[in-house]
C-alpha cells in the first residue's frame, strides 16, 4: 500500500517514539494541526502501520517500520548492535575538525553515558555533520540512523539536541536489549 506524503510524515514522526504517544504530542512536534494528525494516525492504524495499545495513544508497528524501509531486527542482530566495538570502530567525540576530545564510546550504552560528558557544541558538531547517523548505520542499526535523520527535521534548539539524542538512544537500547533477551540494560 502506498503512503501519502502526509501519512509518511506522521509515520516518521511516530518512529521517533519507542512508547505509545498521543496525537497532540505528534502534532506539536510536527507543528501541524492536531485534528489532521489524528486523522492520519487513524488511517495508519487501519492500514496496519501503527497500533493503538490504549485509547488515544499510537505507536508504530513493524509493518510501519517496513513501510519506511527499515529492516526487522532479529535477536542475533540486536545482540550484534549492542556488542562493544573495537577501539578503532568506536565512536570518537570531537569538538571540531581535528580537535579530538579523547572521549570514546564502544557501544550504545557507553554512547549514552558519554553524551552526558561532552559539550553541547560537540554533540551539535557531530549531529549537523551526520556523524551519529553514520556510526549507527555502521554498527548495524538502520533504525537508529533513520531516527537521527528525522530528528534533524524537528524544530528543536541546539541546547535540546543532546538530551533528545540521549533519550532516543536510551530507548533504543532498551528495545534492543529486550529483543536480544538481555536483562538489566537501562
76-87 pLDDT per residue, tens: 999 999 999 999
Where in the chain does DSSP place strands (E)?
A: 21-22, 50-51, 57-60, 91-96, 99-105
Alpha carbons 51 and 56: distance in angstroms, whole number: 11
The cell for 34 is 492536531
Domains annotated for the chain, with CATH where assigned, are 5-67 (1.10.10.10), 75-180 (no CATH)
Alpha carbons 13 and 92: distance in angstroms, whole number: 29
pTM of the model: 0.89
Q: Tens digit of pLDDT for each residue in 7-42?
A: 999 999 999 998 899 999 999 888 899 999 999 999
The cell for 123 is 554533540
Backbone Cα Rg of the chain: 17
The cell for 85 is 566495538
| Rounded mean pLDDT, 67-83 | 95
pLDDT number for residue 186: 46
Amino acid at each position: 500500500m502506498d503512503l501519502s506524503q502526509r501519512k509518511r510524515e506522521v509515520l516518521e514522526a511516530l518512529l521517533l517514539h519507542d512508547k505509545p504517544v498521543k496525537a497532540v504530542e505528534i502534532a506539536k512536534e510536527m507543528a501541524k494541526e492536531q485534528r489532521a494528525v489524528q486523522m492520519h494516525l487513524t488511517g495508519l492504524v487501519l492500514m496496519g502501520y501503527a497500533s493503538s495499545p490504549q485509547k488515544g495513544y499510537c505507536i508504530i508497528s513493524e509493518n510501519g517500520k517496513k513501510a519506511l524501509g527499515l529492516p526487522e531486527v532479529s535477536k542475533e542482530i540486536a545482540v550484534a548492535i549492542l556488542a562493544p566495538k573495537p577501539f578503532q570502530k568506536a565512536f570518537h567525540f570531537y569538538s571540531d575538525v581535528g580537535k579530538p576530545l579523547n572521549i570514546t564510546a564502544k557501544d550504545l550504552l557507553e554512547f549514552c553515558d558519554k553524551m552526558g560528558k561532552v559539550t553541547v557544541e560537540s554533540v551539535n558538531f557531530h549531529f549537523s555533520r551526520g556523524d551519529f547517523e553514520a556510526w549507527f548505520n555502521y554498527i548495524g542499526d538502520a533504525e537508529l540512523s533513520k531516527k537521527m535523520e528525522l530528528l534533524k527535521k524537528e524544530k528543536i534548539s541546539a541546547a535540546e539536541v543532546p538530551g533528545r539524542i540521549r533519550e532516543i538512544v536510551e530507548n533504543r537500547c532498551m528495545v534492543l536489549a529486550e529483543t536480544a533477551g538481555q536483562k538489566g540494560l537501562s
